[in-house]
């Protein structure tokens, strides 16, 4: 492996204006990767920092090339345009990262039909459609990867029953990805999922899962980014169809100390909140 295995590689990512997606993009940019972001955030959100344009600036500052694309992964025309513009700008697509996701942990009786549909449209349909649209270019790439930020298929009552609507949407992302792995393995396209063993300190966690208390027992987005980097550098024909855990990937890569990833420095591992699907 070279010192910069993602140098010149082109990533098409859904979302990525902030949080985990942006951390993954910046990590790849440090190798000199090209990153196209298909995201809705054109102007600043009142509660959330970052837009697709500020994300592009951070990618370029890290050493990569950025293509900010304002669009919605629910819109087929936006997906088609994103794929064509990415190909036009960078000459192809090597990697698709399905990062865009909606979270609502409401119980089944409290979850609105509108939010249920939104989670299905972004998480499941968006993952399938963006991956499918990029596949003709992925099949031509040297080491093509699809990476979806979704959990193992743990359908135990504890987790599936805790938030059925959200669990279905995240498991749908995983099923779409595993299906792509099986369907396009002979073409050399890898498709894997990646999920953390703890919550990650992002705005989504702060606003949707429990505020500052949850942030204090979470890990930083960089742990996710470092694990994603390891996955995307693997030989595609040999490393596909996996539902991976962030910490397991890093342990296999030789990381033995995760303390540097604590969102609140000094938090011991046994205080970190367990992930909602493990």
- Residues recognised as catalytic: 166
Q: Tell me the C-alpha to C-alpha distance, in Å, between residue 70 and each of 13, 37, 38, 128, 149.
A: 12, 8, 6, 19, 21
Widest Cα–Cα separation across the chain: 52
φ/ψ region of 192 (left if φ > 0, alpha if ψ in -120 to 50, else beta) reads: beta
Q: Is there a contact between 72 and 79 (Cβ–Cβ < 8 Å)?
A: no
Q: Is there a contact between 195 and 245 (Cβ–Cβ < 8 Å)?
A: yes
- CA 64-149-212 angle, to 5 degrees, is 95
Query: Is 273 strand, coil or helix?
Result: coil
Per DSSP, which regions of the chain are E strands?
A: 10-14, 34-39, 65-70, 95-98, 145-148, 190-195, 243-245
């Amino acid at each position: 492996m070279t010192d910069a295995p993602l140098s010149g590689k082109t990533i098409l990512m859904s979302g990525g204006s902030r949080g985990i997606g942006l951390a993954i993009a910046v990590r790849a940019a440090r190798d000199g990767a090209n990153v196209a972001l298909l995201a809705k955030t054109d102007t600043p959100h009142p509660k959330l920092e970052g837009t697709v344009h500020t994300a592009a600036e951070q990618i370029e500052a890290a050493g990569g090339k950025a293509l900010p694309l304002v669009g919605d992964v629910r819109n087929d025309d936006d997906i088609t345009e994103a794929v064509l513009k990415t190909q036009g700008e960078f000459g192809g697509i090597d990697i698709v990262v399905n990062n865009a996701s909606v979270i609502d942990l409401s119980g089944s009786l409290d979850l609105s039909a509108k939010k249920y549909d939104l989670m299905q449209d972004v998480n499941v349909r968006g993952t399938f459609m963006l991956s499918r649209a990029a596949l003709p270019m992925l099949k031509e790439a040297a080491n093509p990867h699809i990476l979806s930020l979704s959990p193992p298929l743990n359908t135990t009552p504890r987790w599936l029953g805790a938030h059925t609507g959200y669990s279905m949407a995240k498991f749908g992302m995983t099923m779409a990805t595993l299906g792509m792995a099986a369907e396009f393995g002979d073409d050399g396209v890898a498709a894997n999922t990646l999920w953390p063993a703890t919550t990650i300190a992002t705005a989504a966690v702060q606003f949707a899962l429990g505020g500052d208390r949850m942030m204090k027992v979470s890990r930083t987005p960089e742990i996710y980014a470092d694990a994603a980097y390891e996955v995307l550098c693997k030989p595609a024909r040999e490393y596909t169809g996996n539902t991976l855990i962030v910490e397991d990937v890093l342990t296999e890569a030789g990381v033995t100390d995760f303390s540097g990833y604590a969102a609140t420095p000094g938090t011991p591992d046994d205080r970190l909140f367990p992930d909602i699907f493990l």
